[in-house]
Homo-oligomer: A and B are copies of this chain.
Amino acid sequence: MTELSSDELQFIFNTFSFLLWGALVMWMAAGFTMLESGSVRTKNASVICLKNIGLYSVAGIAFYLIGYNLMYVDVGSLIGSFRFLREPSSDELALLAGAESAREAVIATDYAVMSDWFFQMVFVATAASIVSGALAERVKLWTFFVFTLVLTGLIYPIVGAWTWGGGWLSQMGFQDFAGSTIVHGTGGAAALAGALVVGPRHNKFRADGTVTSTPPSNIPVVTLGVFILWFGWFGFNGGSQLALGSAADVLAMSHVLVNTNLAGAAGVIAAIAVSRPILGRVDLLAGLNGAIAGLVSITAGPDITGHYWAILIGAVGAIICTAAIKLLERLKVDDVVGAVPAHLFAGAWGTMATVIAAGADIGVQLLGMVSIGAFAFVTSWLTWVALEKTMGVRVSRKVEEMGQDVTELGIDAYPEFVLMPERD
């Protein structure tokens, strides 16, 4: 048998880390699906399932065709390469074909090229998942898929090129470990732009200033979704160490997982505690969104933040999220699952919290957060407007009333259960 060199061992550890934690992040797609499918009314619970498995698929193909290269290959300051397809290196192809002579060259790259692609691909899918929930119950199916293509093939990769790809924000030292801003801010900004262009659901905000209650149709399924996200977040943050081949790497991974869990837990407790003063009742959905907000908040700096800080960061993020839910309602922005509060607002907080908790540069953090937020918002808004002028973004009033399940898919999510007549 060949001896295993330290280089080869590191190659194994690093590659395996990408694959395993990446698989766990893929599982988050199921979490978003459950969260959203349980949050919408039953008449739209099937179409949101299709949107979610569809967006995960579109994101995966788009990131293979153009996204990854745009984000990571030959990045100057702003963007990478418009090369088509992401492929293994020629050394890797040789080793895959059995040429042991290629081994040293392969090992020298630290990890398998496509294992990194896999890990980054599930991240772009996460950003796209954020959008589907906010726009549920009224955005057109095919329009949503086209937007997903633009978001995952262009917008997100450009943001990624600025940061993880080594572009201008990275060069300035912008700190965003696993993407409070890069992933969650981008997804949240795209969702906000979409919510503004698509508009609120019919009669969500009544003429008399009151808000129509549209309670989640299936609470256990929503809760399951949040647990899936939490579980997957260990891959999302843990895998973002991007290496496992040294004591320092695995120590950092441990630090990251502990902070992730503490922030999520603190988020739940804080959101439940403030839900009564802010929302008027002990609120399960606030608690669930609090978990997500806590997790989003810690995501910018779980590697450099002390554990007690993680508790504080998660708790504050959850409170901000809870207040933002109320704020969006006041502003008559209709975000079905609270995606903008939990991802954009908590993501912004998390990005800035690294200044307080871990000494990140306030100017750089602010610049990064604002630049990415503005870029993602504006490009998304332009895309949504362009789609509005061409394909249309919004289903007809009749489709909205009857629900997209029956009208677009010809099925019911729960065809055998007798439903309450809808109050309007």
Contact = CB atoms under 8 A, between A and B. Distances in A.
Interface of A: 1-4, 6-13, 15-16, 18-20, 22-24, 26-27, 29-30, 33-34, 37-38, 41-42, 45-47, 49-50, 52-54, 56-58, 60-61, 64, 85-88, 92, 95-96, 100, 103, 106-107, 112, 114-115, 117-118, 121, 141, 215-221, 223-224, 226-228, 230-231, 234-235, 238, 244-255, 257-258, 261-262, 264-269, 272, 281-285, 287-288, 291, 303-304, 306-308, 311, 405, 408-420
Nearest to A230: B26
Given A61-B311, A409-B282, A417 B417 contact: yes
A85 B412 contact: no
A409 B281 contact: yes
Given A26-B230, A49-B284, A247 B60 contact: no
A118 to B, nearest CB: 5
Contacts of A262: 60-61, 64
Contacts of A60: 261-262, 265
B265 A141 contact: no
Centre residue among A15, A248, A267 by max chain B CB count within 10 A: A248
B288 A53 contact: yes
Contacts of A418: 417-420
Contacts of A224: 30, 33-34, 224
A64 B314 CA distance: 15
A15 B49 CA distance: 37
A49 B281 CA distance: 16
Given A30-B228, A33-B223, A416-B217, A247 B12 contact: yes
A53 B227 CA distance: 8
A219 B411 contact: yes
Contact of A264 (B57, B117, B412): B57
B46 A284 contact: yes
Contacts of A4: 6, 9-10, 245-246
B419 A416 contact: yes
Centre residue among A49, A107, A217 by max chain B CB count within 10 A: A49
A115 B254 contact: yes
A334 to B, nearest CB: 19
A330 B341 CA distance: 50
B411 A220 contact: no
B272 A54 contact: yes
A248 B103 CA distance: 7
A220 B57 contact: no
Nearest to A308: B85
Nearest to A84: B308
B50 A227 contact: no
Centre residue among A33, A87, A251 by max chain B CB count within 10 A: A251
Given A254-B18, A269-B57, A248 B37 contact: no
